[in-house]
Structure 1
Amino acid sequence: MQALINNVTRSFSTIFGYAPTHFIQAPGRVNLIGEHTDYNDGFVLPCAINYQMVVAAAKRDDNTIRVIAVDYQNDVDEFSLDNTIEFLPNKMWANYVRGVIHFLQKDNYSFHGMDIAISGNVPQGAGLSSSAALEVAIGQTLKTLYQLPISQKEIALNGQKAENQFVGCNCGIMDQLISACGEENHALLIDCRSLETSAVTMPENMIVMIINTNKKRGLVDSEYNTRRQQCEEAARILNVTALRDATLEDLVAKKALMSEVVYRRARHVITENGRTLDAAEALRHGDLTTLSQLMMQSHHSMRDDFEITVKEVDSLVEIVKSVIGDRGGVRMTGGGFGGCVVALVTPDLVDKVVDSVKAQYEAKTGLKETIYVCSASQGAGYSEAK
């Protein structure tokens, strides 16, 4: 993180001509288990990772907001809190910042202007929530500079609102919530209906490996919408508010009333909710054998019932599984049709996994993977400039 702090300090001081007073960080995340359960009011188990968005900041006496995007050649956005905050079609990065500030204003939080410089190392396009990290970082910055009476959960909800309604991109609440509320060496069990969270201790020294297949994700939006409709149809047939409220027995009893595809989609969500709760327990007790089985069942369910994996993802999971056996877990993570695989492993297995993946993945798929070795990290926070 020090490199990011140096980056933002340099740009801030050069362009604004004085030094920042505060540094704020908000992390990216990976979901360990609980896939496509969020919009079914279910459970997810993400952890924050040690890749983050960092902001250098200082208050202003007036109502001007000045923003430097260090990673976009120090591109600058400037606007006033006295005017309606507009969407900028030609400067997409700025809309995440503008959206967060717009909704904080709408919710009647009182603050003046600020100068900020932003830089991050959350890989973009890998499904590790660089956008949520940015939204949470901006909310955290205003909370820090102006002592806003806003909770971490409200910062997350505000970020989600900005992404859904200002940027115009549909997302659940998981990404912002884990970025705002994550704890070091813990995963966070999130109830997507009540938004209640509970920190789950990770076994000591547990390494979170994220391996990007670098398979370009096609069809994501259309397939996502189809899956969502199928889940809603199943809930309607089962006469429940959401699939979270159904049991496997309920589903089997009404199998004849739904198509085979809808049945399988619902079976994934219902069993995945159970697996997520069981995985939280297994993590708490350091039971890697059970965790290993649950993550593999989750992957098979996504492959066979929800049908969102692709051969590159399945191949990568098999390569990792052959190395770690039941001494850790591995599965696809994220929306599907490409993207990343997550593995929870002990430190002694990391090099073996890396070597095995490097030796086999490209030979099997023609694609070169990208490997991130992470640890479960602290959620959003700040420090004062020395």
Structure 2
Amino acid sequence: MSDHLQPTPRERAVRGFLRAFGAEAQRVARAPARVNLIGEHTDYNEGFAMPCAIDRDTVVAAAPRDDDVVEVLACDQGEALGRFRVGAAADVGGSPQWLRYVQGMVAVLTQQGLPVGGAQLAIAGNVPQGAGLSSSASLELAVGQALSALNGWQLSPQAMALAGQRAENVYAGCQCGVLDQMSSAFGVAGHALLLDCRSLDVTPMPLPAGTAVLVIDSKIQRGLVDSEYNLRRRQCEAAAAGLGVKALRDVDDSLWSHRGGALDLVVRRRARHIISDSRRCELLGQAMGQGDLAWMGQLMRESHWSMRDDFEITVPAIDALAALVQDVIGTAGGARMTGGGFGGCVIALAPEGMVDDIRAAVAAGYRSPDGRAAEVHVCAASGGAGVLA
């Protein structure tokens, strides 16, 4: 079945709600996934990042209950059903991973003093899970928006993003920064977002006209909670402590030249990636301001090399996929791994006229270690999370 004939996440969530709960949903909320153009692991180091919300969504169809029970249908998990009481949302010990994100949002919002009543929720999405596009943040913000609509209060996009981050840190077990949630909350159609991860200032940056945003799923699934993500965070914190700064954001050339050499070799390489990738974000903003896709591509290539050699979060098949795409694009754009690492997707920016050639090259030249072909998604920069009419 072609994509345009597939039921949308909204349609699947609404239909799933009716099947599971025997009534029509009263509210529908959605939140986009994101792809990161550059700036990987810089968020928890208080640096800069350049994400882009994309037109792949998680949708939550919802209605209130007259008690304190939350019932959840996961349309994409074999129509699994979860159930918990609002007051016990923080008790995630026996819950499947997907339900912990929902419980986490309920727990965080109630801890903030917001009234959250019982609810029926049906969740559906078209965000590839484990592909580095932040299906988790998309889920968190869609749930937050649905609860907001059902209970009659509103949070600012920043406050909702921070709630989602806390839900993931405390209840889902991943010590992520806030980049993913901010991207989903603040998305602007046609734009990437220059995000200052210290001040949380967001500056929309227009993508150059005629630029295709390709997200290429390697079919190497990664699990952030079980990967070395948390180890990388500890290494970055060790580097900051060794350099005598609050965060790696604060390291300038003088400090690095005087004290960087005293760090443990591995810790030094981790820090070098963070410092250089944060600076590449600022340069990418300048390149986008000038509409210079070639310069943007060079910065993306350098970012991939840094993730491969200094941060060591790529895998050989991802390196090969990025190189394959880069060979097609040449100097006209760029390709790099995107996301937390150890699998997931390659992001490519290229002239629209190259899309068919990139698709053909990937189909002919790449297979995952278990023999699967990559999936090429041609995406558009999307608006942020909200309630649908």
Gaps (5+ residues) in structure 2? 1-5
Task: Give the aligned partner of residue 3 of structure 2.
Answer: none
Deviation of residue 16 (structure 1)?
A: 2.2
Please give the alpha-carbon distance, in whole angstroms, between the structure 1 residues aligned to 2:372 and 2:171. 35
Please give the alpha-carbon distance, in whole angstroms, between the structure 1 residues aligned to 2:75 and 2:226. 30
Could you tell me whether the CA contact under 8 Å between 2:213 and 2:347 is conserved in 1?
yes
Deviation of residue 223 (structure 1)?
A: 3.8
Matches within 5 A, 1:354-373: 354-362=359-367, 368-373=373-378
Deviation of residue 85 (structure 1)?
A: 5.2
Asked if 1:117 corresponds to 2:122, the answer is yes
Matches within 5 A, 1:185-200: 185-200=190-205
Could you tell me whether the CA contact under 8 Å between 1:248 and 1:271 is conserved in 2?
no
Asked if 1:250 corresponds to 2:255, the answer is yes
* Higher mean C-alpha deviation, range 276-285 or range 359-368: 359-368
Equivalent position SS for 1:291:
helix
Equivalent position SS for 1:318:
helix
Task: Give the aligned partner of residue 22 of structure 1.
Answer: 27
Task: Give the aligned partner of residue 92 of structure 1.
Answer: 97
Equivalent position SS for 1:357:
helix
Please give the alpha-carbon distance, in whole angstroms, between the structure 1 residues aligned to 2:306 and 2:87. 51
Please give the alpha-carbon distance, in whole angstroms, between the structure 1 residues aligned to 2:89 and 2:364. 55
Deviation of residue 167 (structure 1)?
A: 2.4
Equivalent position SS for 2:174:
coil
Please give the alpha-carbon distance, in whole angstroms, between the structure 2 residues aligned to 1:237 and 1:349. 46
Task: Give the aligned partner of residue 320 of structure 2.
Answer: 315
What amino acid is aligned across from residue 381 of structure 1 in structure 2? G
Could you tell me whether the CA contact under 8 Å between 1:248 and 1:267 is conserved in 2?
no
The ranges of structure 1 where at least 4 consecutive aligned residues each deviate by more than 6 angstroms after the TM superposition are none
Task: Give the aligned partner of residue 106 of structure 1.
Answer: 111
Query: Residue 277 of structure 1 is aligned with which of 282, 301, 304?
Result: 282
Q: Alpha carbons of 1:67 and 1:364: their partners in 2 closer, same or farther (altered >3 Å)?
A: closer
Please give the alpha-carbon distance, in whole angstroms, between the structure 1 residues aligned to 2:241 and 2:183. 30
Q: Alpha carbons of 1:97 and 1:198: their partners in 2 closer, same or farther (altered >3 Å)?
A: same
Question: Percentage identity across aligned positions?
Answer: 46
Q: Alpha carbons of 1:335 and 1:111: their partners in 2 closer, same or farther (altered >3 Å)?
A: closer
Asked if 1:46 corresponds to 2:51, the answer is yes
Asked if 1:238 corresponds to 2:243, the answer is yes
* Higher mean C-alpha deviation, range 87-96 or range 234-243: 87-96
Task: Give the aligned partner of residue 72 of structure 1.
Answer: 77
Q: Alpha carbons of 1:364 and 1:107: their partners in 2 closer, same or farther (altered >3 Å)?
A: closer
Equivalent position SS for 1:71:
coil
Deviation of residue 80 (structure 1)?
A: 3.6
Query: Residue 174 of structure 2 is aligned with which of 150, 166, 169?
Result: 169
Deviation of residue 380 (structure 1)?
A: 0.7
Q: Alpha carbons of 1:179 and 1:218: their partners in 2 closer, same or farther (altered >3 Å)?
A: closer
Asked if 1:139 corresponds to 2:144, the answer is yes
Deviation of residue 331 (structure 1)?
A: 0.9
Q: Alpha carbons of 1:63 and 1:35: their partners in 2 closer, same or farther (altered >3 Å)?
A: same
Query: Residue 262 of structure 1 is aligned with which of 260, 267, 271?
Result: 267
Please give the alpha-carbon distance, in whole angstroms, between the structure 1 residues aligned to 2:371 and 2:154. 52
Task: Give the aligned partner of residue 216 of structure 2.
Answer: 211
Task: Give the aligned partner of residue 310 of structure 2.
Answer: 305
What amino acid is aligned across from residue 73 of structure 2 in structure 1? I
Equivalent position SS for 1:326:
helix
Equivalent position SS for 2:41:
coil
* Higher mean C-alpha deviation, range 45-54 or range 89-98: 89-98
Equivalent position SS for 2:220:
coil
Could you tell me whether the CA contact under 8 Å between 2:298 and 2:333 is conserved in 1?
no
TM-score w.r.t. length of structure 1: 0.91
* Higher mean C-alpha deviation, range 219-228 or range 173-182: 219-228
Please give the alpha-carbon distance, in whole angstroms, between the structure 2 residues aligned to 1:146 and 1:331. 42
Q: How well do the aligned residues superpose, as a CA RMSD in angstroms? A: 2.4
Please give the alpha-carbon distance, in whole angstroms, between the structure 2 residues aligned to 1:187 and 1:317. 21
Please give the alpha-carbon distance, in whole angstroms, between the structure 1 residues aligned to 2:135 and 2:112. 24
Equivalent position SS for 1:253:
helix
Deviation of residue 350 (structure 1)?
A: 0.8
* Higher mean C-alpha deviation, range 208-217 or range 37-46: 208-217
Please give the alpha-carbon distance, in whole angstroms, between the structure 2 residues aligned to 1:15 and 1:214. 31
Equivalent position SS for 2:366:
helix
Q: Alpha carbons of 1:5 and 1:208: their partners in 2 closer, same or farther (altered >3 Å)?
A: same
Deviation of residue 73 (structure 1)?
A: 3.2
Query: Residue 330 of structure 2 is aligned with which of 305, 325, 331?
Result: 325
Please give the alpha-carbon distance, in whole angstroms, between the structure 2 residues aligned to 1:300 and 1:194. 28
Deviation of residue 372 (structure 1)?
A: 1.8
Please give the alpha-carbon distance, in whole angstroms, between the structure 1 residues aligned to 2:362 and 2:96. 38
Could you tell me whether the CA contact under 8 Å between 2:71 and 2:84 is conserved in 1?
yes
* Higher mean C-alpha deviation, range 122-131 or range 259-268: 259-268
Count of residues in Structure 1 that have an aligned counterpart in Structure 2? 384
TM-score w.r.t. length of structure 2: 0.91
Deviation of residue 151 (structure 1)?
A: 0.9
Deviation of residue 270 (structure 1)?
A: 1.3
Please give the alpha-carbon distance, in whole angstroms, between the structure 1 residues aligned to 2:299 and 2:183. 22
What amino acid is aligned across from residue 71 of structure 2 in structure 1? R
Asked if 1:343 corresponds to 2:383, the answer is no
Gaps (5+ residues) in structure 1? none
Equivalent position SS for 1:373:
strand
Could you tell me whether the CA contact under 8 Å between 1:251 and 1:263 is conserved in 2?
no
